[in-house]
C-alpha cells in the first residue's frame, strides 16, 4: 500500500466536474453539431459509420443547416481586447489582460482562436486567482468553449455558477493545446449565472487556459454527465476505461489478493468507499471469469481497531494448513496490513500484519482472533505477498520493512528493506532472511517459466524494478542487477496471480497518477499481462505480454491489416481510422527514424542508439533485427506499449484531445521502407 507521503491524496473536490467526450468538429465551428441527435442526447458513442463520412456530413450541414445554426449562436467572450473588460480578476494568475501568445517559461500554447485568450500562467504555476464574468441570463442550452492547461479538478477549471453554486465544470488535460468543451445548461435556461475561471493550484500544471465562449442551441461536443441516468449505459462515462478495471465509484489503488478459485478470478483492491480521494482504506472486491468482464461485489475487509486495511494478498489453503477449512472446502485466506494510527480507532498502534479467512469464495470474511500474526518490526511494515513453496512445504511472506538506522549526520534514516518470513500454517511466522538491496513497497516473488538457466525467480518492488535470481524457500539471491520493469509514467504496486491451474503468472499493475475529470471513479488498473523469462545476450529478462483473454474483446476482425506495404500507403490507411479502444500491432524499420502520433500521444524511434521514446520517456532496445515490433493497447485514458515482443513496456495514462481520434505515421526518410500493421477494435468489457 503506497504511503500518503509518497502518493499524496488528491485534494478534496471543491466543485462538481463534468467531462466531455470527443466528436469530430466537422467544420471547425463551435455552433455546429457533430453527431446525430440520438447519440448526442444519450451520450453514446455512435457506430464508426457515423464518423467516417465527415466531409459529406459537413457539406450537408454547411449547405442546409449551418447558416441557421451559426446565426443563432451568441458569442459571449473571445478575449481579443487589451483587458478583461467587465470580467472581475482576483489574485495574480491572470495578469492584467488576455495573453497574446505563449507566456514566459511556458510550453508552447496552441488551439486558441484569434489573437487573445485567457492564460493563468502569469507568474508561473505558483500563481493563483480567479476570473469571473458579468452575470448573464442563460438563454440557450449549450455553452461551447475552448479549454487547456491543468487537469486538476476544482483547481484549474472553467465553472458555471448559478445561485452561488458551481453547477458545471471542465478542466484541461495537462496539455497547453486548447480543446473544445461543451457544458449542458438546459436545466438552467432562464436563470442568472456567471462563468468563473479558476486557478487554485500551485503545483505542476497549476494553470488554466480558456477562450471563445459561445452560447448555442447545439453542442460542439456531446456533454456527458458524471452519472448516467440510463442504467444500461453505466460504465460509459466520458473518461471511463472500457476494458481496464475501475471501481464503480470513488478512489482505487493497489491490486490485492489476486487468486482464482473454481473458474473465478478474484481482484481485491485498495478502495475508499466514501470518496474519490485517497483515504479510509478498505478492501474492495470484484470477480471475473476472463480477467476483463468484472462484477464488483460488496467490500471484503473494513477498518478495525488495528487500523485501516492497507495492501496484502490472498491464497487458497488447499491443504487446510490453517485449520480454517472444512472437508472439500479449502479456505481463502487473506494476509493484509493493518495500518495502525491511520484512523481514530487505531490511534497509537503501529503497522502490523493480520489474517482473515473466507469459506464462501470471498463473499464474507472472518478476521482471525489471534491477530496480528506478524507484529511490528520496523517503520511502516506493509504489503505481505504470501505464496506456497512446495519444495519446503512452507508458506512464504515477502514483506516490506522500513529499517531505521543512523545516517552520516547522526540523524535517523529509514532504509527500505525486504524481509522474508515463513510459516507452516499461515498463523505462526518466523523470520527467514532479508534481501541485500533496497526495495520499496509492494514486493512480489515468483518462479517463472521460460529460462534455461538455474535463475528462474523474479523479485520486484512497487515501482516495477526487478531482479532475476534463485530462491531456496528462505533466501532470494539475485543473479542480475536491478532492472527496469516498466518505462512508462503510470505503473505501480503490481501484484500477480501466481497459483493458477494453467500455471500462468499474470501481473496486474495499478496505473497510478491518471486523471479522470468529473468522473464518479478515480484511478484504474493496467491490462493483465503474462510474465515469462527470456534468455537474451544480456542475461535473463522478463517478457510481459497482454493475456490471451484480451483477444476475446475483438469486435470482429481487423479494421486494417497490411503486410509489408510502403510507408506512404500504410500512413494513409492509418490516418483514415477512427481510434478509441484498439489493439494495434506494427512492424517498422529499425534503420531509420520515425514518429507515431496516436491520439496526440507521441511514440518516437531514434535509430542511432536504438532509442524508443513514449511521451518523452526513453528505453534503449537491444535491437538485432531489421524491424522494431510494437503492440499498442489503447483505451480511452491509457496506452500500454509493448516493444520487441514484450521485453520492453511503457504504461501511460493520458487524456486524449477530444478532437483527435487519429493516428499519424511520419518517416522523414521513407524511401524503400516497408511497414506492416494490424489494427483491431476492442469492445467494451462493461457491455453485454
| Domains in the chain: boundaries | 19-224, 233-548, 554-681
Q: Cβ contacts of residue 65 below 8 Å, gap of 6+?
A: none
In eight-state DSSP terms, residue 67 is H
Q: Report how far residue 194's alpha carbon sits from residue 409's, in angstroms, rounded to the nearest whole number.
A: 56
- Least confident segment among 63-72, 441-450, 668-677: 63-72
On average, the pLDDT of the chain sits at 88
Q: Grade residue 221 by pLDDT with cuts at 50, 70 and 90.
A: confident
- Return the DSSP state at 567: H
Which is more confidently placed, 248 or 406?
A: 248
Distance CA 488, CA 602 (A): 13
Report the candidate in 683, 578, 687 with the shortest Cα–Cα distance to residue 228: 687
Strand partners, 137: 192
Q: What confidence score (pLDDT) does residue 17 get? A: 30
Nearest Cα neighbor of 680 from 564, 589, 546 is 546
Q: Which residues touch 419 (CB under 8 Å, ≥6 apart)?
A: 377, 398, 399, 400, 401, 431, 433, 434
| CATH of the domain spanning 233-548 | 2.115.10.20
Q: What is the pLDDT of residue 230?
A: 57
Q: What is the pLDDT of residue 222?
A: 64
Alpha carbons 480 and 6: distance in angstroms, whole number: 27
Around Cβ 626, how many Cβ atoms within 10 Å? 10
**What would the DSSP string read from start to end of 185-242?**
-GGGTTSEEEEEEEE---STT--EEEEEEEEESS-SS-EE-SS-SSGGGTT-STT--S
Q: With pLDDT > 90 as the criterion, what percentage of the chain qualifies?
A: 78
Concatenating the DSSP letter of every residue in 489-526 gives: SS-EEEEEE---TT---EEEEEETT---TT-SEE-EEP
Q: Which residue has the higher pLDDT, 615 or 232?
A: 615
Closest CA to 622 of 588, 651, 645: 645
Mean pLDDT in residue range 317-336: 96
What are the grid coordinates assigned to 475, written together? 533466501
- Look up the CATH architecture of domain 19-224: Sandwich (2.60)
Residue pair 374/352 in contact by the 8 Å Cβ criterion? yes
User: What pLDDT does 517 receive?
Assistant: 85
The answer for residues whose C-beta is within 8 angstroms of residue 477's C-beta and 6 or more apart is: 469, 470, 471
Spatial neighbors of 173 by CB under 8 A, at least 6 apart, are 148, 151, 179, 515, 654, 655, 656, 657
Helix, strand, coil in percent for the chain, rounding step 5: 10, 40, 50
Question: Does residue 5 surpass a pLDDT of 70?
Answer: no
User: Greater confidence, 466 or 686?
Assistant: 466
Q: How confident is the model at residue 450 (pLDDT cuts 50, 70, 90)?
A: confident
Torsion angle in degrees (nearest 10) through CA of 362, 367, 368, 372: 120
Do the bridges between strand 430-434 and strand 412-423 make them parallel or antiparallel, or are there none, so unpaired?
A: antiparallel
Residues near 48 by beta carbon (within 8 Å), at least 6 away in sequence: 578, 681
Query: And the C-alpha cell for 340?
Result: 495502525
User: Which triple of cell numbers denotes residue 285?
Assistant: 472486491
Q: What percent of the chain has pLDDT over 70?
A: 88
Helix (H) or strand (E) run with residue 451 in it: none
Instruction: Flag the least confident range among 290-294, 325-329, 406-410.
Output: 406-410
pLDDT of residue 25: 29
**Catalytic site residues?**
254
Q: Quick one: which H or E segment has residue 337?
A: strand 332-339
Distance CA 26, CA 232 (A): 29
Q: What 8-state DSSP symbol labels residue 663?
A: E
CA 497 to chain centre: 20
Q: Between residues 69 and 532, which one has the greater pLDDT? A: 532
**Range 120-147 burial, b when 16+ CB lie within 10 A, else e:** bbbbebebbbbbbbeeeebebbbbbbbb
Q: What is the pLDDT of residue 232?
A: 60
**φ, ψ for residue 56, nearest 5 deg:** -65, -45
Residue 231: its pLDDT value, please?
58
Question: What is the pLDDT, as a whole number, of residue 12?
Answer: 28
State CA 132 to chain mean position distance: 33
pLDDT tens figures, 591-616: 999 999 999 999 999 999 999 999 99
**What per-residue confidence (pLDDT) applies to 410?**
81
Instruction: For residue range 134-175, list pLDDT tens digits in order.
Output: 999 999 999 999 999 999 989 999 999 999 999 999 999 899
pLDDT of amino acid 688: 65
* Three-class DSSP labels, 584-622: EEEEEECCCCEEEEECCEEEEEECCCCEEEECCEEEECC
pLDDT greater than 70 at residue 33: no
- In the Cβ-directed half-sphere of 55, how many Cα atoms lie within 13 Å? 1
Q: How far apart are CA 150 and CA 655, in angstroms?
A: 11
Cis preceding linkage at 372, omega within 30:
yes
* CATH-assigned architecture of domain 554-681: Sandwich (2.60)
Is pLDDT larger for residue 557 or for residue 69? 557
Give me the count of residues in the chain. Answer: 688
- Name which of 639, 598, 469 is nearest 540 in CA terms: 469
Is pLDDT of 387 > 80? yes
Strands 366-367 and 332-339: unpaired
Tell me the average pLDDT across 553-568.
90
In the chain, the N- to C-terminal Cα span, in Å, equals 33
Domains 19-224 and 554-681 share a fold: yes
Residue 518 confidence class, pLDDT cut points 50, 70, 90: confident
Least confident of 52-66, 108-122, 333-347, 541-555: 52-66
d(CA 502, CA 657): 41
Residue 336's nearest CA partner among 284, 385, 278 is: 385
SS3 (DSSP) at 672: coil
> Cβ atoms within 10 A of the Cβ of 186, count?
10
**Residue 34 cell numbers, joined:** 457533430
Q: Model pTM?
A: 0.82
pLDDT digits (tens, 9 = 90+) for 419-442: 999 999 999 999 999 999 999 999
Q: Which three cell numbers stand for residue 685?
A: 468489457
The number of beta carbons lying within 10 Å of the beta carbon of residue 673 is: 17
What does the pLDDT read at residue 6? 37
Amino acid at each position: 500500500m503506497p504511503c500518503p507521503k509518497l502518493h499524496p491524496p488528491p485534494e478534496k473536490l471543491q466543485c462538481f466536474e463534468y467531462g466531455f467526450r470527443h466528436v469530430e468538429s466537422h467544420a471547425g465551428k463551435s455552433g455546429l453539431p457533430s453527431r446525430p441527435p440520438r447519440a448526442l442526447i444519450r451520450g453514446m458513442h455512435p457506430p464508426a459509420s457515423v464518423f467516417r463520412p465527415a466531409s459529406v456530413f459537413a457539406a450537408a450541414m454547411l449547405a442546409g443547416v449551418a447558416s441557421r445554426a451559426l446565426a443563432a449562436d451568441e458569442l459571449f467572450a473571445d478575449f481579443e481586447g487589451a483587458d478583461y473588460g467587465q470580467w472581475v480578476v482576483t489574485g495574480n494568475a491572470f495578469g492584467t489582460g488576455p495573453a497574446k501568445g505563449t507566456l514566459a517559461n511556458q510550453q508552447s500554447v496552441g488551439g486558441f482562436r484569434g489573437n487573445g485568450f485567457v492564460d493563468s500562467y502569469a507568474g508561473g504555476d505558483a500563481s493563483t486567482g480567479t476570473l469571473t464574468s458579468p452575470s448573464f441570463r442563460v438563454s440557450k442550452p449549450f455553452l461551447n468553449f475552448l479549454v487547456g492547461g491543468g487537469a486538476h479538478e476544482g483547481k484549474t477549471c472553467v465553472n458555471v455558477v448559478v445561485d452561488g453554486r458551481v453547477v458545471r465544470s471542465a478542466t484541461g488535460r495537462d496539455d497547453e493545446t486548447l480543446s473544445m468543451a461543451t457544458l449542458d445548461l438546459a436545466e438552467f435556461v432562464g436563470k442568472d449565472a456567471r462563468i468563473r475561471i479558476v486557478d487554485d493550484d500551485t503545483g505542476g500544471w497549476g494553470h488554466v487556459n480558456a477562450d471563445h465562449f459561445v452560447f448555442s442551441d447545439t453542442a460542439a461536443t456531446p456533454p456527458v454527465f458524471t452519472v448516467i441516468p440510463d442504467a444500461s449505459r453505466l460504465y460509459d462515462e466520458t473518461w471511463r476505461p472500457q476494458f481496464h478495471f475501475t471501481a464503480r465509484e470513488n478512489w482505487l489503488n493497489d491490486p490485492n489478493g489476486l487468486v482464482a478459485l473454481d473458474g473465478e478470478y478474484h481482484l481485491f483492491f485498495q478502495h475508499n468507499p466514501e470518496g474519490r480521494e485517497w483515504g479510509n482504506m478498505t478492501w474492495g472486491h470484484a470477480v471475473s471469469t476472463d480477467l476483463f468482464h468484472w462484477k464488483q461485489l460488496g467490500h471484503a475487509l473494513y477498518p478495525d481497531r488495528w487500523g485501516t486495511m492497507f495492501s496484502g494478498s490472498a491464497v487458497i489453503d488447499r491443504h487446510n494448513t490453517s485449520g480454517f477449512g472444512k472437508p472439500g472446502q479449502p479456505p481463502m485466506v487473506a494476509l493484509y496490513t493493518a495500518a495502525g494510527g491511520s484512523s481514530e480507532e487505531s490511534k497509537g498502534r503501529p503497522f502490523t500484519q493480520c489474517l482473515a479467512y473466507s469459506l464462501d469464495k470471498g463473499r464474507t470474511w472472518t478476521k482471525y482472533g489471534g491477530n496480528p500474526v506478524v507484529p511490528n518490526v520496523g517503520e511502516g511494515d506493509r504489503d505481505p505477498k504470501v505464496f506456497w513453496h512446495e519444495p519446503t512445504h512452507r508458506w512464504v511472506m515477502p514483506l516490506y520493512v522500513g529499517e531505521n538506522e543512523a545516517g552520516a549526520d547522526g540523524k535517523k534514516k529509514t532504509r527500505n528493506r525486504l524481509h522474508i518470513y515463513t510459516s507452516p500454517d499461515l498463523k505462526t511466522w518466523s523470520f527467514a532472511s532479508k534481501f541485500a538491496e533496497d526495495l520499496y513497497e509492494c514486493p512480489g516473488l515468483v518462479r517463472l517459466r521460460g529460462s534455461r538457466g538455474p535463475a528462474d525467480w523474479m523479485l520486484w518492488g512497487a515501482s516495477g524494478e526487478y531482479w532475476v535470481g534463485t530462491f531456496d524457500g528462505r533466501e532470494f539471491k539475485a543473479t542480475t542487477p536491478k532492472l527496469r520493469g516498466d518505462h512508462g509514467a503510470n505503473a505501480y504496486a503490481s501484484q500477480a496471480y501466481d497459483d493458477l491451474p494453467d500455471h500462468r503468472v499474470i501481473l496486474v499493475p495499478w496505473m497510478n497518477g491518471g486523471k479522470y475529470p468529473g468522473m464518479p471513479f478515480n484511478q484504474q488498473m493496467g491490462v493483465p499481462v503474462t510474465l515469462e523469462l527470456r534468455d537474451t545476450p544480456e542475461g535473463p529478462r522478463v517478457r510481459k505480454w497482454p493475456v490471451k483473454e484480451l483477444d476475446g474483446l475483438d469486435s470482429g476482425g481487423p479494421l486494417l491489416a497490411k503486410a509489408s506495404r510502403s510507408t506512404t500507403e500504410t500512413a494513409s490507411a492509418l490516418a483514415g481510422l477512427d481510434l478509441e479502444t484498439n489493439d494495434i500491432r506494427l512492424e517498422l524499420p529499425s534503420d531509420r527514424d520515425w514518429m507515431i502520433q496516436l491520439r496526440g500521444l507521441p511514440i518516437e524511434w531514434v535509430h542511432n542508439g536504438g532509442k524508443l521514446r513514449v511521451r518523452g520517456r526513453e528505453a534503449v532496445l537491444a535491437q538485432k533485427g531489421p524491424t522494431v515490433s510494437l503492440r499498442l493497447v489503447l483505451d480511452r485514458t491509457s496506452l500500454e506499449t509493448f516493444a520487441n515482443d514484450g521485453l520492453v513496456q511503457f504504461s501511460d495514462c493520458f487524456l486524449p484531445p477530444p478532437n483527435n481520434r487519429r493516428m499519424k505515421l511520419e518517416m522523414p526518410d521513407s524511401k524503400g521502407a516497408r511497414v506492416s500493421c494490424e489494427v483491431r477494435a476492442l469492445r467494451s468489457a462493461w457491455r453485454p
